[in-house]
Structure 1
Amino acid sequence: MGNPTPTVPVENNDPGRPSNEVLEASTAECALIQPGPQENHLGWHSSVEARWTSMEFSRQGRDVFVRLDPGDELHESLRSLSQHGITAAAITSGIGRVLETEIGYLDGDGVYQTVVHEESMELLSVEGNLAPGPDGPFTHIHIVLSDDGHAVRGGHLIGTTVAVTAEIHLRDLSEGGVPFERLATDSQFFRLSFCRIE
C-alpha cells in the first residue's frame, strides 16, 4: 500500500463548508475572487480589468502560500486576500515569471519615475507588505527580475501580470488587530503608520 495523499488546509468560497477545512491535496479548491475596479497607489487605474482570478492559497498557521496563474495581476490578487481576513501581512518571498511589468523609484520630490518592461521575465524576488489604505487594501511591493540574457532589474512595483506562475509567501500579521496602515501624504508616497494594539 502506497503513502496516503497528504492533506493541506485550503481556503474555499463555498458558504456551505467551513473555511480552512482540511482537504486532500488532490482535491484542493481554488479561491475564486472577483476584485472590483481599483486604482493603484499612484492614482492610476490598473491596466488589467477586474476579472475572476484563479489564485489559490493555503494557510498554515500565520503562513500564507499563494499561487497565481497566467493573467493574474500581482497587486490586485494579493489585495484580494483581505476578503479572507488577511488585512495586514508581510510579503516575504516570491518567484515566478511575469510580463508587462512597470517598476520605478520614488525621486527626491516624491514622484515615481517608472519604466515598463513588456517582455516576459523571471521573477527572482518579491518583498513588501499588505495593509489597509485610504481606499481599501493596499500593497507596497518591491521586486527583482531577470531577462532571458540574465540582466537583472528591480525596483518599486507599479504593476505586473503573471506570465506562467507566481508563488508568493506572506506572513499574516492581522491576528489580534491591524498593526499598521497606509496613510496618504502630499506626494505619491503612502506612509506606513503603526496602530496601537491593546
Structure 2
Amino acid sequence: MRIFNKLSNYLLKNKIDDLIDELILNNFTNKTILKYIREIPREIFVKKKFVNFSYHNRPLPIDCNQTISQPLVVANMIDCLNIKKTDLVLEIGTGTGYQTALLSYLCKHVFTIEIFEKLINQAKINHAKLNLKNISYLLGDGSNGWNKPILFDSIIISAASKEVPPKLFKTLKTKGKIIFPKKYTSGQQKLLLLKKINEFNYSTQELFDVSFVPLL
C-alpha cells in the first residue's frame, strides 16, 4: 500500500516505527490495527506544514477549525468496537478521512457523515489516492444519522457531546456499540462505550479522558 520514495523512505519509515513503538508502549496490542496504522500514509491527511508531525502521537489542526485525532485515541476507539469484516459502521465526523480509512480496512462498509463540505471533499480525494471503494459519504449534521434506513453494527462519534443523539440509537443494531467522547458540565471529556441491549436499554462503560472538538 505504501510506496517510499528515495528521498523520504528512511526518515519516514523511522517515524512510523517510532509511532508504532509508542502505541505498543501505551499497551496497545491489536496487531491488525497496528498493521493498518503502519500502512496508511497519515501524512496525506494533514496540512502540508504539519507533514513532519504526521507520525507524532498527537492531534493536528486541519481546516474548518477541526483536528485530526491523536493516533493512540483513534486506535483505542476502533479497538473497543471489535469490528468484524462483515460489519457496517457509521462514522460521525469524517474530517480529512484518516480514521475512515482505518475503518474501511476493518469492516464491510463505512458510512461517514461530515458537516463541512471542504473536509468531506478532502476526504474523498485522500481515499481515492488509496483506492478505497467501501466508503459512502454524506454532507450534513451527524446528529440526524444516515439519510437512508440502515442498521449499523457500530457507530463511532469523533466529536464531543453531552449525550448520543437519539436518532443514532435508532440506527444501531441490538448488541451493537457506540463509542463517543462525552462532555460533562465541568468541561471534562471522557470516552464512553455504549452497548445496545434492546430498543430501550444499553450498558455504559467509561474509558479514559479525551479532548475532542464539539459536535456541531
TM value normalised by structure 2: 0.27
TM-score normalized by structure 1?
A: 0.29
Q: Which has the larger radius of gyration?
A: 1
Considering fraction of residues, name the structure with more strand: 1
Task: Specify which structure has the bigger relative contact order, considering alpha-carbon pairs within 8 angstroms and separated by 6 or more residues.
Answer: 1
